[in-house]
Structure 1
Amino acid sequence: MSRLQVVSGKGGTGKTTVAAALALALATEGKRALLVEVEGRQGIAQLFETEALPYEERKIAVAPGGGEVYALAIDPELALLDYLQMFYKMGGAGRALKKLGAIDFATTIAPGLRDVLLTGKACEAVRRKDRSGRFVYDHVVMDAPPTGRITRFLNVNDEVAGLARIGPIHNQAQAVMRVLKSAETAVHLVTLLEEMPVQETADGIAELRAARLPVGRVIVNMVRPGVLDDADLDLVRSVPRAAVAKSLSSAGLGGARRGGTAQRLVDPLLAQADEYAERYALEQEQRAALAALELPVHELPLLAEGMDLAGLYALARGLREQDLS
């Protein structure tokens, strides 16, 4: 597995949940993973049922087997202060610029610079080593912007070309791109078995490939359990209404005569079967569309009881069982 795992997806597909589950899965068996948030929504803190994340790397979970998950919510302004201190030793002068509003001004008028800072901080964590020469984190997982913005967000070299063609900013962008376009990185896209998310996933993959960014896998989230297969659906379509009413009556649900309880249940049951058949056909079409992308596809179930910390661990276990980690 690549050391930088970037997770994107259309809004509403649960990309933050998948990113968190992936970090847990990667940290299993004694490894250490860093989960990075770049959009300032504090979604990671909510998932792990902890307080809002500060701009520092903080342990938020223990994975099965004793692994550790750390989290970092990257603040562009504070990242720029780090950058100014690292390259220019500005220290107090940088903090004074922040008080004057100059830092916010810089990251607002130059969105390319903002993306360099956000991606640069994640790439720094990927490359960081301890005193013994070992990587501090085995994996870094980034909860990235949605599919519609992911290519532009990651392709920071092009974004800063108009800002700085030489100098530290240019060199920083080049260093970031060396990580993002290498085998160290994989960009995964999260989708649902619905037409719009699948189409946006296909479009996003095409854009990533055109930009020569490394596409990883497609993760289908919130998959509802199968109830009937093709043979069962064919049987439902062909069974006479009278036979259904008779079976219901035999099960103790009232008489099968006209007006009886069993008779009144026939139409709603058959309507529900038709609705399921329509959804089943749509999901099969979307699975075929995803298969045409020629990427590994993994599925995560819809959790009937909703998402909580236990559900997050269950999704992580599902990813490991599918050899995603």
Structure 2
Amino acid sequence: MSPDFPVRCHVVTGKGGTGKTTVAAALALALASEGRTVLLVECEGRQGIAQLFDTPPLPYEERRVAVTRGGGEVRALAIDVEEALLEYLEMFYNLRRAGRALRKMGAVDFATTIAPGLRDVLITGKVKEAVTRRKDGRRVYDAVVVDAPPTGRITRFLNVTGEMSELTRSGPIKTQSDGVMAVLRSPQTAVHLVTLLEDMPVQETADAIAELTEARLPVGSVIVNMASEPVLPVDALDRAVEGVLTGADLAPGLAASGLPADTDLAEALATEAVEHAQRWASQDALRDRVEKMDRPVAELPLLPGPMDLGCLFELAGRLEEHLGAEVAA
């Protein structure tokens, strides 16, 4: 992100289980600070955003789910593919009434089921409309955050409209498709990738960056989610990684703490400490791999307990610092 070309469409993806919906929600809160208005879009119909913000299931309309510092707000939209198709038919062909008849016949659901690419076309079209929407000459949203499909299909999801554009020479479909890709391939869009410090998510992140780059889609930041800190001091951590920490090393500390210096207990604790240190060393090596992807990197901590609005605001604060650092850079 830069002052000359501010990112306004933030697409958040990640391997399943990395917490991409949580990160998307926190990013929306971060972007809405200081009085800005942000739309958070859910693509996959899981109502994950409603659960995070502790609201009833979201309908196909934009509703406020949070207020931020300075009077900013986050609105959320769960895209309903049938409604999006009816909207599309009305917008370009004035066929909303016919579309409703098709829905009663089950034709709309049939079409979106046998042609999953159509779903992606409708969703990306709605995202583009929100990004470019104006009222009284001003943009309605300062930013749009998309809780997008996982990394395994993110490039296909974002690029399907471009493929449609290549199949049509003229007309409203061609115009709409070109307009969507003009936004998605511009500097005002960034695809952020969420990962954990685990082998498979890191590898999927690297693969997705390569695919997005080849498709000329703009890659944003890599966000390392649920990062943990070592619980051992550096000297003990180094010894534990090497596997030379023993129960005998821990027994004096147990005794000094007033705990029974039981040999079995000390050995069990030493084993656990070695396993923790080796996991940390493995994560640190993966952190180096992430850094070598040559993208801005943000780390979000592993928070105890269930995710609630307070946790989201805490993560949003971390992302605000990251966004500020990117602009300063």
Q: TM-score range by the shorter chain?
A: over 0.9
Shift in Å at residue 269 of structure 1? Answer: 1.4
**Residues 147-194 of structure 1: CA deviation (Å, up to 9, x unaligned):** 000000000234425764432222211110000000010000000010
Matched, 1:88 2:93: yes
Q: Shift in Å at residue 305 of structure 1?
A: 1.5
Q: Which moved more, 1:287-296 or 1:97-106?
A: 97-106
* Residues in 2 aligned to 1:320 and 1:235: alpha-carbon distance in whole angstroms: 37
What is the CA-CA distance between 1:240 and the residue it aligns to?
6.3
Which amino acid is 1:193 matched to?
Answer: L
Q: Is the 8 A contact 1:112 1:159 kept in 2?
A: no
Residue of structure 2 equivalent to 1:199? 203
Paired amino acid for 2:197: L
Shift of 1:230: 4.2
**Deviation per residue, 1:58-91 (Å, 9 max, x gap):** 1111012210100111111111111111111123
162-171 or 78-87: which moved more? 162-171
Q: SS at 2:34's partner residue?
A: coil
The equivalent of 1:272 in structure 2 is 272
**2:8 is equivalent to residue 21 of structure 1:** no
| CA gap 1:159/1:114 in 2 versus in 1, 3 angstroms | farther
CA contact (8 A) 2:248 2:267 kept: no
Task: Describe how 1:1-325 pairs up with structure 2 within 5 A.
Answer: 1=1, 2-131=7-136, 133-160=137-164, 164-228=168-232, 230-236=234-240, 241-254=247-260, 261-323=261-323
- Aligned-CA RMSD value: 1.8
Conserved 8 A contact 2:133-2:140: yes
Secondary structure of the corresponding residue to residue 322 of structure 1: helix
Could you tell me which runs of 5 or more consecutive residues in structure 2 were left unpaired when the two chains were aligned: 2-6
Distance in structure 2 (CA, Å) of the matches to 1:94 and 1:156 = 23
Q: How many residues align?
A: 318
Secondary structure in 1 matching 2:312:
helix
Distance 1:156 1:266, change over 3 A: same
Specify the code of the residue in structure 2 equivalent to 1:22: L
Change (3 A) 1:313 1:243: closer
Structure label with greater radius of gyration: 1
Following superposition, the deviation at residue 251 of structure 1 comes to 2.4
The residue identity in structure 1 corresponding to 2:187 is: A
CA distance in structure 1 between the partners assigned to 2:123 and 2:232 by the alignment: 46
Bigger drift between 179-188 and 61-70 goes to 61-70
User: How many Å apart are 1:115 and its aligned residue?
Assistant: 1.2
Change in 2 beyond 3 A, CA 1:229/1:297: farther
- SS of the aligned residue for 2:237 comes to helix
Residue 248 of structure 1 aligns to which amino acid in structure 2?
A: L
The one-letter code matched in structure 2 to 1:179 is: V
Runs of 4+ residues over 6 Å off in structure 1: none
SS in 1 for 2:139: coil
Contact 1:116 1:176 in 2 (8 A): no
Return the offset for 1:289: 0.7
Amino acid at match of 2:254: L
Q: Distance in 1 between matches of 2:256 and 2:96?
A: 82
Instruction: Tell me by how many angstroms 1:309 deviates.
Output: 1.4
Deviations 1:273-299 (A, max 9, x none): 111111111101110110110001111
Q: Contact conserved, 2:246 with 2:267, CA < 8 A, in 1?
A: no
CA deviation string 1:199-252 (max 9, x = no partner): 010001110001010000000111112223543323555566434323322322
